Amino acid sequence: MTLETAFMLPVQDAQHSFRRLLKAMSEPGVIVALHQLKRGWQPLNIATTSVLLTLADNDTPVWLSAPLSNDIVSQSLRFHTNAPLVNQPGDAANLLI
């Protein structure tokens, strides 16, 4: 099993990322930085990995498209967020395309 690192300070980093995501969604056109991670889970970039770590949990099923679905992403996502991975996009709360 190969796991990638997550937030170093899980609560504080997730809170910071959540506030940045709220700002970006509430003020279209505003660019925010999500830089609590040193690197993303390949092939995901840092921002996408941060969004998953912030929003995914055991109540939000995740569907990964074929290019983004690999053992590293799947295992790290399950370990760090406990989010269930689903096979059909219609069953998911979060989709990565």
22: which 2 tokens? 């709220």
- Cβ atoms of residues 55 and 94 within 8 Å: yes
pLDDT at 35: 85
Residue 58's domain comprises 10-96
Answer whether residue 54 is part of any domain.
yes
Tell me whether residue 4 is in a domain. no
Question: Which run of H or of E encompasses 64?
Answer: strand 62-64
Element at 62 (helix H, strand E)? strand 62-64
Query: 50 CB contacts (<8 Å, ≥6 apart)?
Result: 17, 34, 36, 37, 40
In this structure, the number of other CB atoms found within 10 A of the CB of residue 81 comes to 19
Q: How sure is the predictor about 63, in pLDDT bands with cuts at 50, 70 and 90?
A: very high
Count of domains for the chain: 1
Q: Is residue 22 part of a domain?
A: yes
For residues 11 and 1, the model is more confident at 11
Query: What does the pLDDT look like over 31-49, one tens digit per residue?
Result: 999 988 999 999 999 999 9
Does the pLDDT of residue 1 top 90, yes or no? Answer: no
